[in-house]
Amino acid sequence: MQWLVLVLVVVMLTSAVAVLVLKDFLAALAALSVVSLGLSVLFVILRAPDVAMTEAAIGAGLSSLLFALALRRLGLWRNGGRP
């Protein structure tokens, strides 16, 4: 179980750094939802299935959808983020 947590934390930290570094906004969005997904698995390991469901539905699903729609509205979703 310790190993799983370690792998998850490394994946989450890597994708959190990738959110900052990536030039393409949509790719950064995908990396952001990877962070949320890893967090929801961590919640399952901590025996909090309620919170894990909320994190998976809202953090990984709905908020990335909202971000994508906002990027579309602002014209930042194509051409690697250059308007």
Partner 1 sequence: MQRLSSALFLLGLGLLIAAIFRGMEFGTVAPIVGQAINSAAAEQVGAANFVTAVVLGYRGFDTLLELTILFTAATAGGMVLGKRSPTAKRDPDAGFILQAGADLLFPLLVIVGLYIILHGHLTPGGGFQGGVILASAFFVPILARPGTRMSHTAVSTIEGLAGASFIFIGLLAMFGGEAFLTPLMGQGELGALLSAGSLPVLYLAVGLKVGSELAGLLAQLSESEAVD
The contact set with partner 1 (CB under 8 A) reads: 5, 45-46, 49-50, 52-54, 57-58, 61-62, 65-66, 69-70, 72-75, 78, 83
**Shortest Å, Cβ 80 to partner 1:** 14
For the CB of residue 14, give the shortest distance to partner 1 in the complex, in Å: 20
Q: Where are the beta strands (DSSP E) in the chain?
A: none
| Spatial CA neighbour of 41 closest among 30, 31, 52 | 52
CB of 26 to partner 1, least distance (A): 14
Which CB, 14 or 54, lies closer to partner 1? 54
Q: How far apart are the first and last CA of the chain?
A: 45
Nearest to partner 1 of 14, 53 (CB atom):
53
d(C-alpha 63, C-alpha 54), whole Å: 11
**In the complex with partner 1, which residue's Cβ is closer, 75 or 80?**
75
